[in-house]
Chains A and B, each alone.
Chain A
Amino acid sequence: MNLRPSALRQWLGAWAAYLKAGDLLVLALALVACGLSVVTLWQGGRPDRAVIKSGGRVFAEVDLTVPRILEVPGPLGATRIEIQPGRARVAADPGPRQYCVRQGWLSRAGAVAICAPNQVSLALSGGNADYDSLNY
């Protein structure tokens, strides 16, 4: 087999001659099954709610559908949490090390950002959240 386009087309055509109408139907159904399995099985990590806690108590539970900004009070001041469709982040925090701010956008179910000095946490929850640790 050489790789000139015409020869390649001829080679593919020779193999395609073995396909019957029903075979094409079966192949199409198989590809649909592949697509469906991707859609249904690879969407597990999508979050639908954000749970915001302050001082260990739930401060707010919001849907991740409408963009909004929340000011959460804590011992050091206000932590600003930004919500956007499908994701959320700690936009600003009065804590000294800024770990929760530097985590950036959270977009998977089960993801958590904790601003320990100000006792504020932001967690995303979803239909079936990923595990944050597993052992066997």
Chain B
Amino acid sequence: MTPSTTEIILRPSAEDHRVARHAAAAIVLTVAEAAIPLPLPGVKPGLANIIVLVVLARWGWREAVWVALLRVLVSSLLLGQFLAPGFFLSLAGSVASLAVLGLAMHLPGRAFGPVSQSVLAAFAHIGGQLVVARAWLVPHDGVFYLVPVFALAATLFGLVNGLMAARLLQETSSPTAQQAGV
């Protein structure tokens, strides 16, 4: 058979496969987390950020950005939230936390581990969401009344996610795990 002249052949690189695999894991965590009933809109564990932290530590900031933004896009499609207010809040939070992670990853690694990055990113996440919420969704200073609740949630979930990322990084740093492509 002669090869078609209009056929487009995509050759995914090893990096593409890696991004897809990590994004898939993050999406699964987001969808699973959506099943947990939560007392306040906006207060979520954000388990997908564990994956983002692991990717950041192992493969760098560029891949972490890919994974985080693909996660936001695809999980919003799966949950029927695409282009709804929740999607823009999620996107703003992710962009802000990725920006902070880009800076936090340069903290000296001897003293600052994934927990630091996780807590800082969680605060950036609520910061980004609050800016969008205040500027667009709830144009009133009343949104800031919830800041203490969000800050406490960011501290708690930032700590828990950071610990889990630290443990995952340690447990997957053995040669056998590396061969399995984790």
Q: How far is the CA of A126 from the CA of B152 in the complex (A)?
A: 27
Return B163 CB to nearest CB of chain A, in Å: 5
Chain A CB within 8 A of B159 CB: yes
Is A18's CB under 8 angstroms from B167's CB? yes
Of chain B, the residue at the smallest CB distance from A23 is B115
Is B115's CB under 8 angstroms from A34's CB? no
Of chain B, the residue at the smallest CB distance from A131 is B142
Q: How far is the CA of A31 from the CA of B158 in the complex (A)?
A: 12
Return A33 CB to nearest CB of chain B, in Å: 6
Chain A CB within 8 A of B170 CB: yes
Give how many B residues have a beta carbon under 8 Å from the other chain's beta carbons: 27
Return B136 CB to nearest CB of chain A, in Å: 15
Interface class of chain A by DSSP? helix
Chain B CB within 8 A of A37 CB: yes
Chain A CB within 8 A of B147 CB: yes
Is A23's CB under 8 angstroms from B162's CB? yes
Interface set, chain A 16-72, CB cutoff 8 A to B: 18-23, 25-27, 30-31, 33-34, 37-38, 41-42, 44
Is A20's CB under 8 angstroms from B110's CB? yes
| Given contacts A37-B151, A42-B145, A20 and B123 within 8 Å (CB-CB) | no
The total number of A-B Cβ pairs within 8 Å is 69
Is B158's CB under 8 angstroms from A22's CB? no
Q: How far is the CA of A25 from the CA of B111 in the complex (A)?
A: 10
Chain A CB within 8 A of B91 CB: no
| Given contacts A15-B163, A27-B115, A33-B123, A22 and B107 within 8 Å (CB-CB) | yes
Contacts of A20 in B (CB 8 A): 110-113, 115-116
Is A26's CB under 8 angstroms from B112's CB? yes
Is B148's CB under 8 angstroms from A37's CB? yes
Is A27's CB under 8 angstroms from B113's CB? no
Contacts of B120 in A (CB 8 A): 26
Is A22's CB under 8 angstroms from B112's CB? yes
Which residues in A have some Cβ–Cβ distance to B below 8 Å? 15, 18-23, 25-27, 30-31, 33-34, 37-38, 41-42, 44
Please list the 5 inter-chain residue pairs (A to B) with the smallest Cβ-Cβ separation, ordered nearest first. Answer: A22-B111, A22-B112, A18-B166, A23-B115, A30-B155
Which residues in B have some Cβ–Cβ distance to A below 8 Å? 107-108, 110-116, 119-120, 123, 144-145, 147-148, 151-152, 154-155, 158-159, 162-163, 166-167, 170
Known: A20-B113, A20-B116, A41-B148. 6 other contacts (CB 8 A): A19-B115, A20-B112, A23-B116, A25-B111, A33-B123, A41-B147
- A–B pairs, 28, beta carbons within 8 Å: A19-B115, A20-B111, A20-B115, A21-B111, A22-B107, A22-B111, A22-B112, A22-B113, A23-B113, A23-B119, A26-B112, A26-B116, A26-B119, A27-B155, A27-B159, A30-B154, A30-B158, A31-B155, A33-B151, A33-B155, A34-B152, A34-B155, A37-B147, A37-B151, A41-B147, A42-B145, A42-B148, A44-B145
